[in-house]
Structure 1
């Protein structure tokens, strides 16, 4: 089989070499979904979803079932994805190590986790930036998020240091770094969420971690809620410009307003029986909920479920 192309191939594309020559073979459809990739499905538009499968990024049309494939490097191990609010960019976090057959990471000296930034408005889509930071001890980024103006991408590193890195996309430079692993009592950090309007405000959550951060003079400083070590958090999403919803391992949703805890939404057995699935993923998007492309385990907060009356504690 010919080597896989480095650029996008449509499902109908093939390259005939003429009479007597062997025709190149290109994949037409790719089935499945790569495991262990956080936020692995994004909506390019109302009828197209993108996700990593095998050695490709797959753009799948849910109406025609046609696929557009973007080949990844053979050593790429995706760990997280994020799309900017205006659907201009896609961030694909890549582990700084290969995987052996058992799934364990094999890191060699000099390898660092990276962020591949794709321009989704190009046809075909293309990688425009490869972002790395030498101050990260972890072999992977576990979560990513774009600022509202699409100029900065935040990536959350994994164990052992749980370093949060902010990159300026256009300049491919590090804007700010915060090593969260030095926090006493913190167990892990699993998710980062940029404020939907204020480009200088973020939230990070994890196991015994819930922190609001504000960027000032290239430094990230904590503000607001001070009891983050009390919670085993899974994920967080901004519902609007002043409300953050945080999913926990206990099956509750913490409703944070302007950096402070206002109430706790309890998902009890009644609501579980009605079809709600517990964290660690919260989807607040009527378009995504209606499309049916919501990967478990997750909570979908749409108008119907809100009207049913979630019990608040």
Structure 2
């Protein structure tokens, strides 16, 4: 029953997360550019936009659902459910926010749906929340993700990439950093389960806070520099891949026990990657007058 509640909270999180991103994009688009040299002024400028503030409020609700899901279900299961948020993103962007999605994007949605279904079917039965971890494994994993996130933030500008690619790189960096935070939060839920609320006093709380702050700025600037749907999609994909890998590497979530099951899951992940490549094609929102908004 606990696992079922965890999946329900993950579904609610997927809906709220993508709704929050779309609201934040609308607000960030009219705010001053995020400047890492002036973090406080940048944050104030973002929150002065009502749409961005609403998006952050919705995002906080999504975070509460996510923490609840991580406390009740294995991380890999939660992230597979959240990966379905790409479907929700496209539907909401098309129906609620005036984005046009072409055949390529809908094919991506179909590939995502099939991939997620195959992953769910081949997922071994799991009991409990799978919150125990090896200190060496989580330290190495989190350190590697932090390094990757920093490389994605600095890389495009250092290598002179085109401006439109900056937003995608920042979106990917934000997703990786959200993954760092989620893995840390999963570890905290295990410590709290053993030690009570005093378990919050752990180095992983600091890691989660730092990664979340960095992801906040990377995501906001990515939404300003890039197209909404591609940036949001790459952010979600990077976060999901990071967390699914974390569930297996850090928390020991099981993989299929047969060669056929492993092959099907490998094919399913290929479909998910294909969907991520198809869906974030350049799409633009319909122009909405400020008064109408």
Q: TM-score range by the shorter chain?
A: under 0.3
TM-score by length of 1: 0.21
Higher strand share goes to which structure? 1
Higher helix share goes to which structure? 2
Q: Highest relative contact order (Cα 8 Å, sep 6+), 1 or 2?
A: 2
